Chains A and B, each alone.
Chain A
Amino acid sequence: MTEDDARAAVARAFREERTSVLATLIRQTGDFGLAEDAVQDAFAAALVTWRRDGVPDRPGAWLLVAARRRAIDLARRSRSQHERAARLAASLDPDAPAEEPDPIGDDRLRLIFTCCHPALDLPARVALTLRTVGGLTTGEIARAFLVAEPTMGKRLVRAKHKIAEAGIRYRVPEADELPARLRGVLRVVYVVFTAGYAPADGDRAVRAEMCAEAIRLGRLLCELLPAETEAWALLSLMLLHDARRAARTDPDGRFVPLDRQDRGRWDRARIGEGLAALRRADRPGPYQLQAAIAALHLTERTDWGAIAALYDRLCELAPSPVAEVSRAVAAGFADGPATGLTLLEPLLAAPAMRDYQPLHAAHAELLRRTGDRAGAAAAYRRAIELTGNAVERAELLRRYNDVQNGGAPATVR
């Protein structure tokens, strides 16, 4: 087989089998770092062996056996872990056949719940999930979250130590704790998506690779937990947003608000998949409401009354600053800017919200629509001060200049 063919086969196996192989090996060795190294070496070995002997019938099984042998070697070699290596060597039979995957106790699900354990802080959960479940490199994760690579490396090492030392067990939570723990997992996936879709800093409006990774994780969760309606709802929400990705910036990289987007550039296949996922989410929940709102935003004539009503429910069910601000914006379109401003009042008075950029951007927009140009200009200035994303700043500056010059009012969603 040619080198290119072998390379392609290994790349495909990496995409399709890596998470399962790693997840199973972590269960068998009880050691994240060791399992990661061993799996990496197994893929390197595959490149050589498959080129010589051809691709095995079951690449996943081949990789698991190779990685398990490698794990035993690595454990024996590290002197400091002598006793553990002996235990490991005794418990792992290098010649045992690879186990058939167990659909109920899927190791990938164990891996996801362990990486998203609430005793790890949120940035550690996000990083570990991307590294271990997603197979991203430390450098890729560091760039997505704008931290130096060594800092991200330390965060990952610390998280793995914590799992080992604190006694976080490698398991899927029991039925009674599953709902709360699943909410934590979905949150991690959504943080990854948001890091891609609305980067807080940097020069780009979107980091597509992070959106793609979050959607991949979302699909995996739906595959592993098909009865969980909020998992389907999150997948739907991400797909419906991602479908509009290409239309969100113009050829010069400037932000294009929803009502001025070229609908021809929306991804119809993504929208279809997103709406299908939304139909699987047939119980109200925080993501279900947000996905339903995203679906309403796709219609030709936006039904702001319906959107405002969904935000009302969202603020009851899962209150958050972003939901409260969005509710005020929606009510501002449905019932007029004065209603929106009334809803913003308590938020503007809250000290915790003082540096919340979307609040000031929404405030500016509502003031502009009431004709209060001076007030709007001041609120835009505040929003501009608080944004670190270059594309977002350019759009806010444009609107600021509009109110300053008394130019034609810009439309804004």
Chain B
Amino acid sequence: MKNKKLILAAFVLSIGILLGGQEEITIRIREGMPMIPVALPDFQVTGMVQPNDEINRMIYETLWKDLEFSRVFKLVPREHYAYISRFNPNAINFKDWASIQANILISGQLEMAADERIIFSFKIYEVNSTRFIFGRNYGGKKDLARMIAHKAADEMMKHFGEKPLFTSKIVYVSETGNDRDIYIMDYDGFRPTRITFSNALDMLPSWSANNEKILYTSYRNLTPELFMFDMYTGKTELLSSGGSNYAADWSPVADQIVFTSSKSGNAEIYRKDMKTGKEKQLTFNPAIDTSPCWSPSGREIAFTSQRNGTPQIYVMDSEGSNIRRITMEGSYHDSASWSPDGMRLAFVSRIENRFDIYIFNLKSNEISKLTENAGRNENPSWSPDGRHLVFSSNRSGRYQLYLVDYDGRNVRRITSGGENKMPKWQRLPR
């Protein structure tokens, strides 16, 4: 009898361990899901385009790099294609592709008309079941080739249950000579477009929730005022002035912004309703309160406060109450950025005159370091899918923009020339 009880206890215990283990495994799968092996043979070309044409290579390489960057797909090395028969889109030998461990096969076709408009078509096959999964056709002007490739990569993401990423843009500040203006560009650093043309300092830009407007601070009237630029109408509107007005962040769920203003005489955090124009002061403290950032739910706001002597990260609810301190160690933290899943805060810490980016897990209270002793690293901002971040760093001399994965892997520089900083990645439109 006693034995039986013991066995039962052991059984219960082992189930407990199993369940516990299982839970841990599911978390691990979320973070490090095995990547899907994809083969991307050369495109078939028709019409006015040759296989070696720049346009063909551009679409191919952009699509390749997007999928490689995704952390969702893994590309079968091109060297392996040499061991199997040449890809024929009309008679696909799936066994060949299975033999080089491809799970997904992309069959692409590029056509160029006499007026230089291009049509890119692609079909996705599952190799093992030899099934056609889905296909898309994109047509457009020749100079939109990169955009077409990004759209195709996003379609892949969506089809595999992931969030689109590759058509997203980054807004940032670029400085060449004495000019410092706001620019937007593709996530991979291509196609930069200047959007402000003032002779004064323009800085700290951010996106509206629908990505149609840019909030930024400009010194064009001598003091730092908050402006809003509408990309569709081209109109610029003054949002807040008096004292310094900066670090605006648009709510992911409502037409509300939070920003820092010293219009009352001290740096405090304000919330502004963009429909009624009504403002509400959220912090009341003689210390510096700045750098507000909405949680994805819109219920909380992370911010920086010096109320206990040194700048630390705090979180309050969106009405300004229930303030709690997040960073407990270190003497200098700022620029909090909330991950799209709401689970993590990325921020900058200064330790012995180095700036590095850290990620704080709000569930487990664990802190991990994202950048390692390479110059000053500032202004982290999450990708819409939460797998990557963009930040600025002076590791190579002047400030440039870099991408990094959530686990610190795949650091990649995306700007060069002049100085580029203060990046903000678009969020998924609500």
Co-assembled chains A and B: no
Binding site for A on B (CB under 8 A): none
Binding site for B on A (CB under 8 A): none
